Amino acid sequence: ETGVTQTPRHLVMGMTNKKSLKCEQHLGHNAMYWYKQSAKKPLELMFVYSLEERVENNSVPSRFSPECPNSSHLFLHLHTLQPEDSALYLCASSPGLAGNNEQFFGPGTRLTVL
């Protein structure tokens, strides 16, 4: 138990569906992250939030839309995804934004796009 929870753990969706991934951290951290982990590829940083403000968007397609309503919750809204978007989506949090801040990861949501 890392203090970061993600729901759902598994999600199957069609290309025309709209769904959302949820992340919650119970660590009092100020920074939260979304990562994509595909088979045989390194972890890709998608979005970074600090104190509910988005500070990083690594050229992620607009079909992925993040939302951070408060410092404990992070959402990833999905719409009109493609099969190549199938991956493990990981949420993480850290005390703040710094290269030496340890990141605490959730268990991930395994997404399959049909």
Partner 1 sequence: LAKTTQPISMDSYEGQEVNITCSHNNIATNDYITWYQQFPSQGPRFIIQGYKTKVTNEVASLFIPADRKSSTLSLPRVSLSDTAVYYCLVASWGAGSYQLTFGKGTKLSVIP
Minimum distance from residue 6 beta carbon to partner 1 (Å): 8
Q: Strands, E, within 1-114: which ranges?
A: 4-7, 10-13, 18-25, 31-37, 44-50, 53-57, 64-70, 73-79, 87-94, 104-105, 109-113
Of 14-53, binders to partner 1 (CB under 8 A) are: 40-43, 45, 48
Site string for partner 1, 50-89 (x = CB under 8 A): -----xx---------------------------------
Cα gap 36→44, rounded to integer Å? 5
Binding site for partner 1 (CB under 8 A): 2, 4, 40-43, 45, 48, 55-56, 90-92, 97-100, 102-108
